[in-house]
Amino acid sequence: MVTEFARNQWYVAAYGHEVGRRQLGRTILNEPILLYRTEDGRAVAMADRCVHRRFPLSESPSHLVGDRVVCGYHGFTYGPDGVCVAVPAQQRIPRTARLRTFPVVEQDSFVWVWIGDREPGDVLPPRAPWLVSPDYATVCGMEPLNARYGLLVDNLLDLSHETYLHGGYIGTPEVAETPITTEVDEDAGVVYVSRHMDDAACPPFYAESTGIKGRITRWQDIEYHPPCLYLLHSRIAPVGSPPPADDGTDPHAFHVEVVYAITPSTENATYDFWAVARDFALDDEKVSDFLRDSNRTVVLQDVTALNTLEQVIAAEPDRYQELSVNIDTGGLAARRLLARMAGSAPAQTAVR
Ligand SMILES: NC(=O)c1ccc[n+]([C@@H]2O[C@H](COP(=O)([O-])OP(=O)(O)OC[C@H]3O[C@@H](n4cnc5c(N)ncnc54)[C@H](O)[C@@H]3O)[C@@H](O)[C@H]2O)c1
Ligand SMILES: O=C(O)c1ccc(O)c(O)c1
Ligand code: FES
Ligand SMILES: [Fe+2]
């Protein structure tokens, strides 16, 4: 699986609601990053290391004064552009006293940062509009993973694991039993994996939230925008319901957009951002509470499994042998695109 990082890409650093008038520290692609919001509401990102003696500016007693951040060790003070504006006991400020800043885009409830040695230019992060749409109700969270990000990519691109890891929540026998189709849009660099189950058991995650009592038609349409954004268009309808109409309306079905942002922190740590947006029961707080708790449990089941796998793989000699089968085609396509983005040849593994 993939461990090299794709640089010159957008990565989710935080939810917008996490970035405010107190400093937040996140490490992304091994870069310690300080995040905070200026008094006029702009999210800023800069190196989380004082140029003087490396004290972290996200850690107390470092603190904000207006839009400036004051280092908590000897008082070096920096503006939101990273430039040092004051050092203790002298007027002269060395020209080199400045923090590297990172381009920031706030979009679809995420704070995205650009990590690389080039500027993003007009490249924007991929979209997840449901998370801020009035036509959807969204619950979200983030779990830190003590595992390399490629393990989470593999996990999310192959949902057959739901039958085994997530029984009683989102898994049923039909998920692992139903074959998938995989397509890659090479130009856009997007991987599509679809699994359409015509007649399946309805897992509690959907039975409780939609109120459906019997068996269902269940579509899982994955759209992975490497490196960071994963979308699962989930369509649930009572078995035998009509498909979406030609004009795109789909009144007989329930739709859930399951969004993950996979942000590598270090070689063996990852931020696992998750969000579940639904187009039904919009004002029902009980449904929101249920989906939030249920999805957090699902995420923690994956976190536990992937943390275990990380220990196993970290202890294995390099070039250990994997065996891939049909369910892995999406994950292998993702690895190929990620390796291309990271500028390295993908490790070959034949699908048998
Ligand atoms: N899925 C693929 O294999 C594939 C391949 C290439 C390009 N694309 C492009 O990706 C995008 C999505 O493709 P797709 O095949 O998933 O789209 P689709 O229109 O076939 O719908 C599939 C998914 O979209 C959701 N959906 C359908 N009607 C909806 C409605 N009225 N409201 C809310 N959700 C609804 C359902 O959850 C369903 O799982 C499209 O722009 C398509 O052109 C998809
Ligand atoms: O397949 C699903 O429906 C589904 C729902 C919630 C998740 O967090 C997920 O990973 C998959
Ligand atoms: S380490 Fe920041 S002022 Fe000394
Ligand atoms: Fe999972």
Instruction: Summarize pLDDT for 173-190 with one digit per residue, the tens.
Output: 999 999 999 999 999 999
What SS3 class is residue 236? strand
Establish whether residue 258 lines the binding site of ligand 2, counting it when its CB lies within 6 angstroms of any ligand atom: yes
Residue nearest to atom 10 of ligand 1 (CA): 223
Model confidence at 84: pLDDT above 60:
yes
Would you give the distance in Å from CA 2 to the centre of its chain? Answer: 16
Identify the residues whose C-beta falls under 6 Å from ligand 1: 183, 185, 192, 194, 219, 221, 223, 233-235, 244, 248-250, 255
The token pair that represents 322 in the structure block: 């994997």
Please identify, by atom number, the ligand 3 atom nearest to the C-alpha of residue 71: 2
The Cβ of residue 230 has, within 10 Å, a number of other Cβ atoms equal to: 25
Between 352 and 134, the more confident residue is: 134
Nearest to 28 by CA among 104, 132, 82, 120: 104
Dihedrals phi, psi of 286, to nearest 5 degrees: -65, -40
Tally of CB atoms within 10 A around 91: 6
Q: How far apart are CA 232 and CA 331, in angstroms?
A: 14
CA distance 89 to 125: 43
Tell me the pLDDT tens digit for each residue of 65-74.
999 999 999 9
The answer to whether the CB of 80 falls within 8 A of the CB of 38 is: yes
| Residue whose CA is at the smallest distance from ligand 1 atom 29 | 250
What percentage of the chain exceeds 70 in pLDDT? Answer: 97
Whole-prediction pTM: 0.95
**Among all ligands shown, which has an atom nearest to the Cα of 301?**
4
pLDDT value, residue 55: 98
Question: By the 8 A CB rule, do 308 and 153 touch?
Answer: no
H helix or E strand, kind and range, residue 47? strand 43-47
Whether residue 297 has pLDDT greater than 90 = yes
Q: Do 147 and 309 touch, CB atoms closer than 8 A? A: yes
Measured between alpha carbons, how far is 104 from 120 in angstroms, rounded to an integer? 10
Report the C-alpha gap between 5 and 325 in whole angstroms.
25
Encode burial over 118-157: b for 16+ CB neighbours within 10 A, e otherwise: eebeeeebbebebbeeeebbbbbebeebebbbbbbbbbbb
Q: What is the per-residue pLDDT for 317?
A: 78
Q: Among the listed ranges 52-61, 309-318, 332-341, which one has the minimum average pLDDT value?
A: 309-318
pLDDT of 318 reads 81
The two three-digit tokens of residue 235, written as one number: 């369509």
The pLDDT of residue 344 is 75
pLDDT above 60 (res 346): no
Pair of tokens at residue 214: 């019997």
Least confidently predicted of 38-52, 99-113, 332-346: 332-346
Query: Is 178 near ligand 2, meaning CB less than 6 Å away?
Result: no
Q: Which residues of 314-344 are buried (b: 16+ CB within 10 A; e: fewer)?
A: eeeeeeeeeeeeebbbbbbbbbbbbbebbee
- The per-residue pLDDT for 320 is 78
350 compared with 223, residue with greater pLDDT: 223
Of the candidates 347, 135, 76, the residue with the CA atom closest to the CA atom of residue 257: 135
Distance between CA atoms of residues 50 and 48, nearest Å: 7
Whether the Cβ atoms of residue 82 and residue 98 lie closer than 8 Å to each other: yes
Q: C-alpha angle 320/322/324, rounded to 5°?
A: 165
CA dihedral of residues 282, 285, 291, 292 (deg, nearest 10): 120
338 pLDDT higher than 90 = yes
Q: Please compute the mean of the pLDDT values over residues 132-156 and round it to a whole number.
A: 98
Ligand 3 site, residue 76, Cβ cutoff 6 A = yes
Query: Mean pLDDT, the chain, as a whole number?
Result: 96
Q: Quick check: CB of 216 below 6 Å from ligand 2?
A: no
pLDDT recorded at residue 351: 59
Mean pLDDT to the nearest integer, 122-133: 98
Q: Residue type for 144, please? A: P
The pLDDT score that the predictor gives to residue 319 is 74
